[in-house]
Structure 1
Amino acid sequence: MRALLIRDIRLAVRAGGGFGLGLSFFLIVVVLVPFGVGPQNALLARIAPGILWLGALLACLLSLDRIFALDWEDGSLDLLATSPLPMEGIVSIKALAHWLTTGLPLVLAAPLFGVLLNLPEAGYKWLILSLLLGTPALSVIGAFGAALTVGLKRGGLLLSLLVLPLYVPTLIFGAEVARRGAEGLQVATPLLMLAGITCGAMALLPFASAAVLRVNLR
């Protein structure tokens, strides 16, 4: 399992789907927002939690199609399917590798980008916490979407259409945690909802993704 994780991380970086691409897109979103809404500090501070969460979500989409596509193209996915490792474990490891190369760098960079949007000081810790809780769900849901579209030519657009509706609850509660934290309000309810979504996705979707992959490999 450890060898598979290290292999997937190396493949993600070499294939151009590592942290650099996601961070660059995240930075572009954050930089362009003030040009669109104007340099109004009060307005930027109010919308900063939602913009940062939306930017992180869209940045995660960029590399979802590479979760299984590279293994499908070179035949490694067939070998993995016949290995002693359970398919559910393989899906979980690939989702973890995606989070380490995409989600975690976004979490670490979000406070720096928050400065550009005039995020209130009280909101930084809640922004980091919400991203730490929510981005694993984005990777697991993305792995499920990637499993559905594996083997399809130009399946990136279809993958985005399938995954984006599933991302909406995570986006809503994640941005709400950051917004309430920035305004000094109680964050317990959206924080628990966000944690519940992530735990539910991590518990159920690897089995669904594994079942889809078995069907696609027949």
Structure 2
Amino acid sequence: MKAIVASTLLLCTFALANGDQLQCSHTEQEIKTDPNWTDMKRSCINSMRTQIRAELSAAMQYLAMGAHFSKDTINRPGFAKMFFDSASEERQHAIKLISYLLMRGELISDVSNLIDTYIGVSKTQWDSGVEALKDALQLEATVTKKIKGVVKVCEDQPGPNDYHLVDYLTGVFLEEQYTGQRDIAGKISTLDKFMTKHGALGEFLFDKKLLNGEL
């Protein structure tokens, strides 16, 4: 860091000594877009921006779940790891959608308004692992429904179908969503069986298997 600061000061000193040959600041450039390139319809863009917020909201909810199961009074590290990993996955989904809009040239303005300054969570406490998993399944189903909503908007919009975006969402995002939903549903079933057979100890055993990557 010190080397960078020193280099910057050296460059500025050199610029002062050499007049206009070197500048240490630049003016913000106005980006003019070609309608032949930036061809996404406004309704489709708005749906994508809404979906980005939905992915970030899901990430925050998973963070709350991970934090809950990390508390020393709960101490379920397997559940905590699973939910923290899910939070990272949802955040990556948001990044992918942002990158897509950038690729299509549709994030040249209002970027600061894309992400709200605060995204609240609907719940911060869970009485059991089963309850949390059921909430996670509902959360995934909600995100899936929203993605399908984006697909519908971009298919049914006035003008040409946005084939590339629709294919991207259905081939990548919906595949992950359906796979994730099936995985959570399976975990709910397994945990129910653990607790039926072992009672309260069942959740403890299930958590250990989660932590060891056995589920």
TM-score (norm 2): 0.30
Structure with higher helix content: 1
Q: Higher RCO, 1 or 2 (CA under 8 Å, sep at least 6)? A: 1
Larger Rg: 2
TM-score (norm 1): 0.29
